[in-house]
């Protein structure tokens, strides 16, 4: 099914293109086509020709000016017949099978076409016109050879008709060594490397016994024969392999050179002795296994057959195998070190994740804690900025960690920065980083917390302490704009989720002009309020037991728990320092307690009043006044509003209810500021 396209531009036949089954020929103006037509009337990819079901098909590729076969304009596919002429723009392409009948109409300049079939390449064709202008037929590029595996990594096979002696020994050794080096590199343990090396040595050298001996990995100093450990051995004649002599092993280890000795029957320095002391070997060969210029072992070979005597080529091969064994062992050592490092690193990562997970675990089962957990679960999957409010010591950082580890960013970094602990200049440097020489003491470029938290979470504690100048720059970063390091001009773009925390009333700070209004609303996308410990007394026992277990493990003590009196005392206490105070009280008690259980005297509780929670003292009144539950609720809400200066958000947080619920109750009880309440 081979065919030809004879190409004519104007009145001259210019080229011949051979069509080969299985190859699609494209025609067009683009230079990537097989047949290029440099005419603006020709589309970039105009047409193509291919063989389908035994017929040659011409397909017009939706060209702008179309394709003509004979007198027939075509669109889509056209089955070609030999002798037809294809016209595209100014070019004609005659479709023929036999070059001798290429021009039946005799139009144009007459041409004589012939096959210049050489003996070596019968597929070569040439065309010659009347002016003896030679036109080469375009041949498509083809793959001439394929091979899945190299023959050099296969064993040398000798057929029955071929004498093994006709194969050059050096060539056989080189081929075997190439395959052996490849196989050694794929072994997974030292013993397999040693056995494979011996197999290759027995195949290519004139020996019948041998072994691979190595020094221990921990060996230091000068090596001697007694330090060598037998890794693998083989003996084709006789019951067992006999160990290398002390003189021979020490010589090779000391000098780092391979040794071949013959006629060793009468030389005790080289001889191989059996259990009776008799020497059986006729020749012996020993090659060092070297790493970094130091011998770490030897390959020991010997022959007990006087008709099989190793020669210098065997010594060369043994040394080459020993060097390949050394390289394979080095790679195995690196793999082992890498595996151990990865395993150790993975264990450390798992331990750190467990530790971080434990540190981000919120302890408690009270309704307030369950509500807090639900808020965290709803806020975690999003990218929204979170504002965590609550008194000092309630565990705002713990809430931030819980949000981070429950979010898609949990594998990224969690970076925390306390804004109240630094001056304005230092805070800016900590947040955004600085360039070398930006200020006195800036000796190197420093990466800021924003860069450190890239693809993770940045928690800013005590956000209310941030100065107005930094608030403006901070707001731009929150809006997604790049920032510049202090003293730098290069923009830095990061992907960070920000969690802010504060124990201040930011609404009042905004009213007083100490906190930017736009930043407040940008931070308060999702607001989570961490309840104080006095609002969830049912969690005190569980928290105390949690901290007792923690500090028992850290100090090595084995306290059994708390006395009942200690439990009751902790439940009645107001905990002005919240969970932080409870944690420190338990730590002190674990260190100083003298009994098996912690008693009241071991609890160092303060006399401080709780912060901003004066309405709670109603329950401590010594005067009882009968009243309905609605009246008690009305009075309690009014007093709480009064104590907070009618800050509804803070009041709702103290009461443990939603802001909308508080608004409904204010309307229900018709409460107004400055309402006189009977205390």
- In 10 A of CB 639, how many CB atoms? 19
Q: What's the CATH number where 641 sits? A: 1.10.10.60
Q: Are residues 467 and 492 in the same domain?
A: yes
Give CA torsion, residues 669, 670, 673, 678, to 10 deg. Answer: -50
Q: Are residues 229 and 301 in the same domain?
A: yes
C-alpha closest to that of 368 among 394, 342, 402 = 394
Q: Are residues 46 and 73 in the same domain?
A: yes
| DSSP H/E element including 268 | none
pLDDT given for residue 375 in this prediction: 92
* C-alpha separations of 633 from 93, 644, 665 in Å: 100, 17, 9
Phi, psi of 187 (to 5 degrees): -80, 150
Q: Which of 503, 529, 555 is the last residue of a domain?
A: 529
Q: Are residues 525 and 544 in the same domain?
A: no
Q: Are residues 549 and 648 in the same domain?
A: no
- Find all residues with CB under 8 Å of 188, minimum gap 6, and list them: 332
Q: Are residues 185 and 278 in the same domain?
A: yes
pLDDT given for residue 118 in this prediction: 28
C-alpha closest to that of 227 among 239, 240, 217 = 217
Blockwise average pLDDT, block size 10, the chain, 679 residues: 81 80 90 88 92 92 91 90 90 84 45 33 38 41 39 47 49 76 85 91 88 87 87 83 85 87 70 56 88 89 84 87 90 85 75 58 86 91 91 90 89 88 82 81 82 90 86 86 84 90 89 89 90 90 91 88 89 89 91 88 76 45 65 89 87 90 90 66
pTM for the structure as a whole = 0.44
- In 10 A of CB 147, how many CB atoms? 6
Q: What's the CATH number where 559 sits? A: 1.10.8.60
pLDDT given for residue 672 in this prediction: 85
Kindly state whether residue 618 falls inside one of the protein's structural domains.
Answer: no
Q: Are residues 453 and 494 in the same domain?
A: yes
Q: Are residues 508 and 537 in the same domain?
A: no
Q: Are residues 313 and 182 in the same domain?
A: yes
- Domain coverage including residue 295: 143-154+167-334
Q: Are residues 524 and 538 in the same domain?
A: no
* Gap between the Cα atoms of 215 and 479, Å rounded: 64
DSSP three-state, residue 289: strand
pLDDT given for residue 167 in this prediction: 45
Kindly state whether residue 442 falls inside one of the protein's structural domains.
Answer: yes
Kindly state whether residue 352 falls inside one of the protein's structural domains.
Answer: no
Q: What's the CATH number where 221 sits? A: 3.30.450.40
pLDDT given for residue 195 in this prediction: 92
Give the total number of structural domains in the chain.
5
Q: Are residues 376 and 404 in the same domain?
A: yes
Q: What's the CATH number where 434 sits? A: 3.40.50.300
Residues 482/491, Cβ–Cβ less than 8 Å: yes
Q: Which of 474, 499, 529 is the last residue of a domain?
A: 529
Q: Are residues 463 and 597 in the same domain?
A: no
Kindly state whether residue 345 falls inside one of the protein's structural domains.
Answer: no
Kindly state whether residue 347 falls inside one of the protein's structural domains.
Answer: no
């Amino acid at each position: 099914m081979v065919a030809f396209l004879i190409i004519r531009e104007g009145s001259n036949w210019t080229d011949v293109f051979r069509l080969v089954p299985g190859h699609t020929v494209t025609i067009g103006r683009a230079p990537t086509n097989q047949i290029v037509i440099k005419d603006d009337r020709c589309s970039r990819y105009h047409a193509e020709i291919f063989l389908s079901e035994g017929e040659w098909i011409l397909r017009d590729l939706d060209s702008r000016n179309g394709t003509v076969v004979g007198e027939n304009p075509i669109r889509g596919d056209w089955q070609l017949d030999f002798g037809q002429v294809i016209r595209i723009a100014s070019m004609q392409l005659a479709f023929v099978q036999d070059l001798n009948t290429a021009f039946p109409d005799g139009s144009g300049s007459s041409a004589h076409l012939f096959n210049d079939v050489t003996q070596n390449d019968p597929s070569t064709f040439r065309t010659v016109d009347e002016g003896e202008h030679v036109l080469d037929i375009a041949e498509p590029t083809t793959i001439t050879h394929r091979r899945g595996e190299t023959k050099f990594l296969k064993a040398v096979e000798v057929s029955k008709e071929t004498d093994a002696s006709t194969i050059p020994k050096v060539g056989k050794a080189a081929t075997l060594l190439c395959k052996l080096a490849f196989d050694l590199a794929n072994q997974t343990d030292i013993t397999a490397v040693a056995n494979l090396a011996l197999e290759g040595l027995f195949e290519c050298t004139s020996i019948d016994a041998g072994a691979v001996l190595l020094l221990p990995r921990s060996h230091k100093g000068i090596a001697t024969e007694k330090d060598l450990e037998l890794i693998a051995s083989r003996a084709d004649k006789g019951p067992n392999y006999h160990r290398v002599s002390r003189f021979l092993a020490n010589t090779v280890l000391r000098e780092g050179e391979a040794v071949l000795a013959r006629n060793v029957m009468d030389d005790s320095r080289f001889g191989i002795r059996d259990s009776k002391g008799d020497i059986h070997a006729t020749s012996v060969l020993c090659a060092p296994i070297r790493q970094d210029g130091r011998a770490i072992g030897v390959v020991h070979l010997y022959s007990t057959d006087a008709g099989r005597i190793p020669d210098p080529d065997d010594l060369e091969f043994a040394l080459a195998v020993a060097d390949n064994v050394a390289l394979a062992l080095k790679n195995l050592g690196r793999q082992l070190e890498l595996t151990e490092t990865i395993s150790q690193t993975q264990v450390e990562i798992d331990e750190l994740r467990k530790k971080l997970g434990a540190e981000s675990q919120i302890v408690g089962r009270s309704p307030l804690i369950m509500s807090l957990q639900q808020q965290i679960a709803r806020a975690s999957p999003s990218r929204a900025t979170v504002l965590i409010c609550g008194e000092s010591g309630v565990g705002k950082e713990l809430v931030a960690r819980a949000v981070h580890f429950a979010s898609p960013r949990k594998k990224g970094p969690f970076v925390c920065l306390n804004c109240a602990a630094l001056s304005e200049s230092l805070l800016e440097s900590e947040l955004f980083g600085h360039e070398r020489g930006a200020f006195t003491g800036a000796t190197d470029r420093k990466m800021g917390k924003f860069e450190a938290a890239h693809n993770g979470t940045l928690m800013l504690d005590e956000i209310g302490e941030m100065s107005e100048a930094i608030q403006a720059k901070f707001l731009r970063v929150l809006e997604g704009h790049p920032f510049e390091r202090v003293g730098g001009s290069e923009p830095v773009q990061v992907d960070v989720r920000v969690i802010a925390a504060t124990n201040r009333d930011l609404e009042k700070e905004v009213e007083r002009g100490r906190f930017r209004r736009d930043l407040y609303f940008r931070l308060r996308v999702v607001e989570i309020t961490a309840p104080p410990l006095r609002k969830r007394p049912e969690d005190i026992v569980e928290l105390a037991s949690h901290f007792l277990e923690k500090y028992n493990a850290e100090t090595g003590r084995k306290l059994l728990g708390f006395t009942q009196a200690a439990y009751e005392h902790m439940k009645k206490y107001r905990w002005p320092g919240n969970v932080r105070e409870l944690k420190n009280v338990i730590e002190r008690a674990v260190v100083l307690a003298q009994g098996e259980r912690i008693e009241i005297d071991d609890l160092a509780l303060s006399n401080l009043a709780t912060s901003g929670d004066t309405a709670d003292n109603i329950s401590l009144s010594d005067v009882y006044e009968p009243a309905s539950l609605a009246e008690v609720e009305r009075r309690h809400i009014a007093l709480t509003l009064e104590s907070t200066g009618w800050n509804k958000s803070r009041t709702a947080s103290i009461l443990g209810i939603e802001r909308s619920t508080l608004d409904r109750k204010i309307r229900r009880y018709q409460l107004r500021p400055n309402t006189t309440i009977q205390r």
